[in-house]
Amino acid sequence: ETNTLPFHPFENHQGDILRMEKEHQVLKEQLKEAEEKFEQLQSRSLEETGALEELLKKSIEETKVSQNELDWFHQDSETQMKKWQQEKKENRENLKALRSTAKKHSDTNERYLKTIDDKQKQYNVCLNTFLETSNKFANEKGKLEELIKKSQEDSQECVKRAVKAEVSVLQNWKETEVWKLKGNIAKAEVNLRMLKALSSSASAAPVLKAQIDSWETFLSNVKKQLEKVEAEYEEKIELVKNGARNCLSEVEVVDFPCP
């Protein structure tokens, strides 16, 4: 649309049409110059003819004075007449050549004008086709943009639902493991209270001390495991909420045997 490339098939190179128009303008100027030169030559010929007629008139009047002068005048007139006729003949030939050139240029100009008109019509057809295609593509682009927008909205909704589902699964796994570990903690605390109550007897204290130590170690390990499980599951839940992928896996839990 900005004419930055050759307009095929009407131009082989950039600016062919403009160059033809410039050549046509140059030919018109040359024709105008030739016509001006012809008018100048014709005017000069008329002036010379007038001068010769005046000279002839003067020579006739002077025949009364001298026959020799009259003969000389006739000879000179004949010479001038021949010269003028020769110039007239040359001017006619030049005029004929100029007219032929002008006709040739006129025919060329008409041919160029016809070619330009045909190319303009073809250009208009191509432009209309381009505009129709452009409008069609614009409509299709609008429809595609609407579909893309809808797909993006659906995708975002699916992502939200997926995140919610993953968070729910991780939360369930966390609650299950926490429930198990807290059950072990409660069991260990009950056993420790029982063992400590029985160890109040001096005779039983040495026997129960090893068991109390074992249960305290077990309780400490389970509490550490509980903190680890809660922290790792919370970390996974936060990663999923922030858009991380491949986080849906259970936290490894060490199963400590009861003493």
Question: pLDDT tens, 182-208?
Answer: 898 998 889 888 888 887 765 556 677
% of the chain exceeding 90 in pLDDT: 35
Contact, 98 vs 35, CB < 8 A?
A: yes
Mean pLDDT check: name the lowest of 65-79, 165-179, 223-237: 65-79
Contact, 253 vs 177, CB < 8 A?
A: yes
pLDDT of residue 205: 64
pLDDT of residue 208: 79
Q: Please state the domain extents for the chain.
A: 160-242
Give the C-alpha separation, 192 to 208, whole Å: 10
* Overall pTM surpassing 0.75 (yes/no): no
Contact, 10 vs 119, CB < 8 A?
A: yes
Taking all residues of the chain, what is their mean pLDDT, rounded to a whole number? 85
User: What would you report as the CA-atom Rg of the chain, rounded to the nearest whole angstrom?
Assistant: 58
Question: CB-based burial of residue 222 (10 Å sphere; 0-12 exposed, 13-18 middle, 19+ buried)?
Answer: buried
Contact, 108 vs 27, CB < 8 A?
A: yes
Q: Residue range 134-140: average pLDDT?
A: 91
pLDDT, tens digit, 9 for 90 and up, residues 89-125: 999 999 999 999 999 999 999 999 999 999 999 999 9
Q: Residue range 150-172: average pLDDT?
A: 88
Instruction: Indicate whether 34 pLDDT > 80.
Output: yes
Mean pLDDT check: name the lowest of 16-20, 67-71, 246-250: 67-71
pLDDT of residue 250: 82
Instruction: Indicate whether 69 pLDDT > 80.
Output: no
